[in-house]
Amino acid sequence: MLKDHSIRLQSHWNTVYRERGPDAVSWYRPHLDLSMQLLQEGGLDNDSRVVDVGGGASTLVDDILAFGVRDITVVDLSETALEMSKTRLGADASKIQWIVDDITTLRLPEGRYTHWHDRAVFHFLTDPKDVQAYVRAVEYAVCSGGYLVIAGFAHEGPQRCSGLVVARRSAQDIADIFSKQFTLVTSKPEVHATPGAQVEQAFIYVLLQKHKVQG
């Protein structure tokens, strides 16, 4: 059951998607090419088990399916956004596990995923308690040697998004937060142009690998 704070956030994001539509939200890109590139650098293949956190109405799930991955989970707090993805995918939606929940409280299966992807969720976590809850969720759900792709606003990025304050971080900032169990593999900047107004936003993408358990 969602807590009061999560329910308020869910209402906020459902409203954002209903009022703007999936291709007019500020973070929209037709395809998350850089995300796919980093997932592939992390060894993405047909047998990978991928979770897209905050996947919402993103087309990344379409591209991962087209790549040949058969085990995909999409998590988002907004049921409205996930329904948009299901409608877009049509019959292929049945191939995906859809979860409506708050990732800071959701308990995913231990060691379940080879790849965890998050574009533009982690930067909304500004409370240290939420950050640590997110880190614990990643550490628990990603398997030994698995990969984590996180993208969020860089230091030059905006201070707010969709009316909410965000945390702007460098690649090293993110790597340090996850350093107990993950090592930075690579990072890449991206200048994202928002739909319509074409306002430029500075993003940073990082690929981290979980330390392998010996023995």
Which residues have C-beta within 8 Å of that of residue 129, sequence separation ≥ 6? none
Helix (H, G, I), strand (E, B) or coil at 197: coil
- CA angle in degrees (0–180, nearest 5) for 102-33-101: 10
25 lies in some domain: no
What pLDDT sits at residue 110?
98
54 lies in some domain: yes
Amino acid occupying residue 195: P
41 lies in some domain: yes
Number of domains in the chain: 1
215 lies in some domain: no
164 lies in some domain: yes
CA distance 17 to 23: 9
- CATH value at residue 181: 3.40.50.150
Note down the domain range covering 177: 4-20+30-210
116 lies in some domain: yes
143 lies in some domain: yes
Tokens 């533009």 -> residue: 120
Contact 60, 39 (CB under 8 A): no
**Residue ranges in the chain modelled with pLDDT below 70:** 1, 215
133 lies in some domain: yes
CA distance 182 to 142: 10
User: pLDDT digits over 89-138, tens only?
Assistant: 999 999 999 999 999 999 999 999 999 999 999 999 999 999 999 999 99
Q: Whole-prediction pTM value?
A: 0.96
